[in-house]
């Protein structure tokens, strides 16, 4: 009984952490869509024409699903979006590393990494973080009992 209780606390904690991370990551991007759009340009993976739309939409999606995770509203949909987003982030960061693109990630703040000269190391660190978040999201997706677990 105690184990089940601890397990539910653990899942709840994962949800709060993941939700908090996504909300935190979205705020700076919502405030500076122009800079975020330029950052997306730097990854050279999406057509430039669409980057402003991505820059305007993506942070809000992160914010909404972050709240979704914390409050439990649209939990399953939020989790699915988070998993897809994290896989996408890992892909674009990895291609930037392999292609040797000199860019900073901007995952948390648009100006983040400014002091860090070694962009490749920063990108690999971000990939590692995203893999951890993806692991957390997958645990929630496959283990959590959404309706009972709150």
Partner 1 sequence: MELFLFLFRLKQFLNVCKFLFMTNTQKQIIGLILLSIFFGLIRNYFLESPLSLLKEKRIFETIEVQTNNNGEFTFDLPKDLTEPLNITIETVDYLRITNQSIIIDARDEEDFNKGRIKGAINIPFDYYEEFEFQLDDIDLEKILIVYCSGGECSLSIDLADYLMLDRGFFNVLVYEGGWPEWKGAGLPTE
Return the structure tokens found at 93.
């960061």
- At its nearest, how many Å lie between partner 1 and the CB of residue 19? 14
Choose between 10 and 73: whose C-beta lies nearer to partner 1. Answer: 73
How far is the C-alpha of 126 from the C-alpha of 96, rounded, in Å?
12
**DSSP code string of 39-59:** HHHHH--S-HHHHHHHHHHHH
Choose between 7 and 101: whose C-beta lies nearer to partner 1. Answer: 101
Choose between 80 and 125: whose C-beta lies nearer to partner 1. Answer: 80
* Of 83, 87, 84, 95, residue with least CA distance to 46: 95
Using CB under 8 A as the criterion, which residues of the chain lie in contact with partner 1 when the complex forms? 30, 33-34, 37-38, 41-42, 44, 48-53, 55-61, 64-65, 68, 74, 76-78, 80-81, 101-102, 104, 114-115, 117
- At its nearest, how many Å lie between partner 1 and the CB of residue 76? 5
Choose between 7 and 38: whose C-beta lies nearer to partner 1. Answer: 38
For 102, counting Cβ atoms within 10 Å of its Cβ (0-12 exposed, 13-18 middle, 19+ buried), the class is exposed
């Amino acid at each position: 009984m105690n184990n089940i209780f601890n397990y539910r606390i653990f899942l709840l904690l994962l949800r709060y952490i993941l939700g908090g991370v996504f909300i935190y990551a979205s705020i700076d991007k919502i405030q500076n869509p122009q800079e975020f759009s330029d950052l997306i340009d730097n990854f050279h993976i999406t057509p430039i024409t669409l980057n402003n739309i991505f820059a305007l939409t993506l942070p809000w999606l992160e914010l909404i699903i972050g709240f979704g995770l914390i409050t439990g509203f649209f939990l399953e949909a939020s989790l699915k979006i988070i998993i897809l987003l994290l896989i996408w982030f890992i892909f674009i960061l990895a291609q930037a590393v392999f292609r040797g693109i000199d860019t900073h990630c901007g995952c948390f703040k648009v100006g983040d990494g400014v002091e860090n000269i070694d962009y490749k190391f920063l990108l690999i660190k971000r990939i590692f973080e995203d893999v951890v978040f993806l692991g957390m999201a997958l645990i929630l997706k496959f283990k959590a009992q959404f309706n009972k677990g709150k």
